[in-house]
């Protein structure tokens, strides 16, 4: 059978968004799949910064194939955030620059920008800077962007968009977040 070019391996832009849980988890699932093929993966995690959660320890076990860079200063404006907005903005912009360097290195087949949608929505990073970042990736490099409230222009540009929809959540029954499941 002749290859018409449709099966050509090209880098995809994948967006996981929505109000339901599972966006980062879906990206990490893709990460685990890619490791199975010996890929190098870079994760740049925006916003979540100050919390300690299981995925940080789990990702360390995937070394040397996975590099994790936590660049956020914590969740912005909620729970225990006592930082100035400018601190969050500076951290996010530095994270975007780090992501640009990692993408330009062509060392990684997969780059995950976790919670970048949130950083965009909050105004921590600018649309034109993210668009420039998208342009910088190589033809075969896959890029995954996660977080609630993906911008319409990003959804339009993406090759694959999955929206996580919350149908039912344990919190609605008074069950708090649980170690190993939620964090």
**Per-residue pLDDT reduced to its tens digit, 134-182:** 999 999 999 999 999 999 999 999 999 999 999 998 878 888 877 777 7
Cβ atoms of 98 and 8 closer than 8 Å: no
For 95-118, write each residue's pLDDT tens digit. 999 999 999 999 999 999 999 999
Specify the pLDDT at position 165: 95
Q: Please give the mean pLDDT across all residues of the chain.
A: 87
What are the residue ranges spanned by the domains of the chain?
13-164
| CATH number, domain 13-164, options 3.40.50.300, 1.10.1740.10, 1.25.50.10, 3.20.20.70 | 3.40.50.300
Please report the pLDDT score of residue 1 as a whole number.
Answer: 41
Other Cβ atoms less than 10 A from the Cβ of 95: the count is 26
């Amino acid at each position: 059978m002749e290859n018409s070019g449709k099966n050509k391996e090209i880098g995809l832009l994948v967006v996981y968004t929505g109000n339901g849980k599972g966006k980062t988890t879906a990206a990490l699932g893709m990460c685990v799949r890619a490791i199975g093929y010996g890929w190098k993966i870079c994760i740049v995690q925006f916003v979540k910064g100050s919390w300690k959660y299981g995925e940080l320890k789990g990702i360390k076990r995937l070394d040397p194939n996975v590099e994790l860079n936590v660049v956020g200063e914590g969740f912005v404006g909620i729970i225990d955030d006592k930082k100035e907005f400018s601190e969050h903005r500076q951290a996010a912009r530095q994270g975007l620059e780090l992501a640009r360097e990692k993408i330009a290195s062509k060392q990684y087949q997969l780059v995950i920008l976790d919670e970048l949608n949130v950083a965009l929505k909050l105004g921590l990073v600018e649309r034109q800077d993210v668009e420039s970042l998208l342009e910088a990736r190589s033809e075969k490099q896959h890029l995954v962007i996660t977080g609630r409230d993906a911008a319409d222009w990003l959804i339009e540009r993406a090759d694959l968009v999955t929206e996580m929809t919350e149908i039912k959540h344990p919190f609605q029954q008074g069950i708090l977040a649980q170690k190993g499941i939620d964090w």
